[in-house]
Amino acid sequence: MDPSQAHLLKGVTVWFTGLPSSGKSTLARMLERKLRKWNLKVELLDGDVVRTHLSKGLGFSKEDRDINIRRIGFVCHLLTRNGIIAIASAISPYRKIRDEVRQRIENFIEVYVKTPLEECEKRDVKGLYKKARAGEIQGFTGVNDPYEEPLHPEVTCNTVSETAENCVEKIIQRIEKLGYLQLVKVKS
């Protein structure tokens, strides 16, 4: 269905999680653009941008990563309760902190961007995996720090076997099915 209009029924957080270079930011930006086309209230909190502004000065220890995710979650909570679609794109490698954020935000959709490590390494334009494998970066998720896969995400996007467009469409359908969005086909 290619709707002509969409109505936001209530605020929701769409939380993208996955390995570095899995495609989280790409999918999040595509989702944001599609929702904005329908003139919906939407804000994107990308992990890299948040670290530059909201979490500047934090490192990559487990404690600092948890603080970063809590900050993103707090902002998403505020946006969501005020009737906005909050899109968060952050590695958020630890299941416990993701679950904590889920508990804080009433309307929450977890999107697991499931991409094999080998594929993430191929896509790594910043060369971070290579540096981590060479020992230049410690605590890098997927190499020398764990990534704990979600147990029950609302949406799983396999970016190797699905196109980005299909992934975004699947996410929008899930947002609608869960009652946050109403898609309307206007007859011409």
Render pLDDT for 74-104 as a digit per residue (tens, 0 to 9).
999 999 999 999 999 999 999 999 999 999 9
pTM value is 0.93
- Residue 83, domain member (yes or no): yes
For the sheet with 85-89, list strands across it.
Answer: 42-46, 85-89, 12-17, 108-114, 155-158
How far, in Å, CA of 126 to CA of 180, rounded? 36
Cross-strand pairs, 16 = 89, 111
Asked whether residue 127 is domain-assigned, the answer is no
Domain that holds residue 78: 5-117+148-184
3-state secondary structure of 89: strand
Q: Residue 1 above 50 pLDDT?
A: no
Q: Does residue 56 lie within any of the structural domains?
A: yes
Residue 122 located in a structural domain: no
- Residue 134: phi and psi, rounded to 5, are -85, 0
In a domain, 134, yes or no: no
Catalytic residue from among 21, 61, 92, 188 = 92
How confident is residue 152, by pLDDT bands cut at 50, 70 and 90?
very high
22 in catalytic set: no
Q: What is the pLDDT of residue 2?
A: 58
List pLDDT tens digits, range 12-38: 999 999 999 999 999 999 999 999 999
CATH of the domain at 173: 3.40.50.300
Q: Based on the structure, what is the number of domains in the chain? A: 1
**Which H or E run includes 96?**
helix 95-104
